Structure 1
Amino acid sequence: MADEESGESRRRVLRATGCGSAIVLAGCVSVGEDTSQEAGEPARDRPADWCFDRLDDTVPDVEANAVSIDGVERKPEGELTSKEEASYQCGPADGNHCGTCTYYIDDRDGDAVGACTEVTGEVRSADWCALWSPREKLQNE
């Protein structure tokens, strides 16, 4: 009889633990809505330029003098398009983002923010603008 009671007790503990874990996990997962400010896609209630205050208007020399992954050279400062003119937005559009663009210059100074050969200032790989063009190297691989 003692074995049956301890077996039933173990089953109750396992069920309670499993249910508790599922509830905690469900609270951590947000389906269909992104509430994180660092995530790639903007939340629906934020403006498209919510991340602009996190991006410097200038680009570090190491990135300003670099080329994109496809070898595109960065335009001179006076010839770059402003973020507004390029319709730059914080987050991807239709699954496309700067990190998959032929003009994107990957982070070179360790601050997790890159640059663009066409657009002024710092650029996040998770964002997008109307100048987006797919990387040639990704298409050919």
Structure 2
Amino acid sequence: MSDDSSALSRRRLLTTTGALSATALAGCLGSDGGGPENEQLADTRERPLPEGAENCVSTMGIERDPDGLTAKENVDYQFHPNYTGDSGFIELCANCQFFCPGNNFDSSDSSDTTIGACAAVEGGIYSQDWCALWQPVDGLEEQDRSRARGSQTEN
């Protein structure tokens, strides 16, 4: 192989690699966030309080006071669990003292039981969400922490 054809092959390889990298980067940066997965996420973020949840009682017996609630933006509310908390557990609304599950409400016309409420935070709450007010339900501390983290290994 001559030096000219070797240099041409290297140049073609570098040019092609650079073009592919630039295309991939432009695809990532140029996204408007309007894909189907983002539309679904945006749709699940702001849910109204389910009918019958105004004065619900949490899984730990804490009564919801509609006048004493905190706004989501004031409690670092996030639309996914907290995997890095100090508790050693995946922290989510479903295992929080303040959570009122959606299937506990009196509403007979509500077909969506995935939206619950909170005795401390305003609005509709999903069981997989999290906020800074999270407190574990009684008995969570006694559970095997490795299994609570989703570990597949045996101790």
Mark the structure with the bigger radius of gyration.
Answer: 2
Aligned mates of 1:137, 1:80 — CA distance in 2? 26
Of 75, 91, 102, which aligns to 1:107?
Answer: 102
Aligned length: 94
Q: 1:100 to 1:119 in 2, by over 3 A?
A: same
Of 68, 72, 79, which aligns to 2:68?
Answer: 79
Question: After TM superposition, which residue ranges in structure 1, 4 or more long, deviate above 4 angstroms?
Answer: 50-53
Q: 1:129 to 1:51 in 2, by over 3 A?
A: farther
Q: 1:140 to 1:123 in 2, by over 3 A?
A: same
Q: Which residue of 1 aligns with 2:77?
A: 88
* TM-score normalised to structure 1 length: 0.56
Q: Which residue of 2 aligns with 1:124?
A: 126
Give the unaligned 5+ runs of structure 1. 1-35, 38-45
Cα-Cα RMSD: 2.6
Alignment of 1:1-141 (within 5 A): 37=37, 51=41, 53-56=43-46, 58-76=48-66, 78-94=67-83, 95-108=90-103, 109-111=110-112, 112-139=114-141
The alpha carbon displacement at 1:51 in A equals: 4.4
Give the unaligned 5+ runs of structure 2. 1-35, 84-89, 104-109, 144-155
Aligned mates of 2:75, 2:54 — CA distance in 1? 18
Aligned mates of 2:63, 2:57 — CA distance in 1? 5
Going by fraction, where is helix more abundant, 1 or 2? 2
CA deviation map 1:17-57 (0-9, x unaligned): xxxxxxxxxxxxxxxxxxx95xxxxxxxx8xxx94642446
For 2:77, the aligned partner's letter is Y
Aligned mates of 1:64, 1:51 — CA distance in 2? 25
Q: 1:53 to 1:83 in 2, by over 3 A?
A: farther
The alignment partner of 2:53 has SS state of helix
Q: 1:67 to 1:90 in 2, by over 3 A?
A: same
The alpha carbon displacement at 1:137 in A equals: 4.6
